[in-house]
Amino acid sequence: MNTPASHPPRLTHLTFHGPLSEARAQSLVRRLTRTNPTTVLDIGCGWGELMLRILTAAPDASGTGIDLNADDLARGRRNAEARGLTHRAEFVEESALAATRGPADLVLCVGSSQALSTTEPPEHTTEALRALRGLVTDNGRVLLGEGFWQRTPTPAELKGMWPEAAVTDHHDLATLLDLAVAAGFRPEWTETANLDEWEEFESAYQADVEVWLAQHPGHPLAAETRERLDRHRAQWMSYRGVLGLAYLTLVPAL
């Protein structure tokens, strides 16, 4: 579906809604399908690109993606139809809190742990990990994509990030792994998004709107759009190299 040229487009340059390269995505799909999952649950799926790729690689699997963004879910359904996966991929608009759709052989929760908790950061991570342990089968896998501090941010950096950003908003990577173990998992694989992946994600996140703004400077939405773009870019420059994203492949401990 094409967005009218008179309105800012939305995320058309993004393949994944996060700092995830094609190479890493391929590696994750290979690893996550080695156990031959037959059921996949994607928490906060967006348009579920990673889930669809897993279903393509695991022809006996079916998947359910849940999210609250109707536009993203519609994009996921269109992509599933284009790839012949409609009969195996379901996209549902609902909250992940108290989710009853598990347990599944493979649970994806990439950048969406907040969907599993009502507590404030960083305590929400602990609650989300406990919820994930109940959503995965005993011989299954969880892929958790979770933010962490690569180093302690300075007061100036925090001031430039999201509103009321604080050092306590995230754990470091070692603490994140300890929390996963305490919640009943063993970390099969630990990897983190690199700077190239972050830059590709953040650039693609704004690219189509930046082009629209350059071509529509007098549009009634131009001032609002310019302010939003400039604010987000300033935030990115503040957490660039400070905020990390870990991709943890977790095995339930029996």
Beta bridge partners of 41: 64, 107
225 is a domain residue = yes
Residue 127 is assigned to a structural domain of this protein:
yes
Give all strands of the β-sheet with 89-93 in edge-to-edge order.
89-93, 62-67, 39-43, 104-110, 136-149, 243-252, 185-192
Q: Which domain holds residue 26?
A: 22-252
Instruction: Tell me if 16 is assigned to some domain.
Output: no
pLDDT class for 127, splitting at 50, 70, 90? very high
pLDDT at position 1, please?
Answer: 40
pTM for the full model?
0.94
Residue 28 lies in a domain: yes
Chain segment 10-63, per-residue pLDDT in tens: 899 999 999 999 999 999 999 999 999 999 999 999 999 999 999 999 999 999
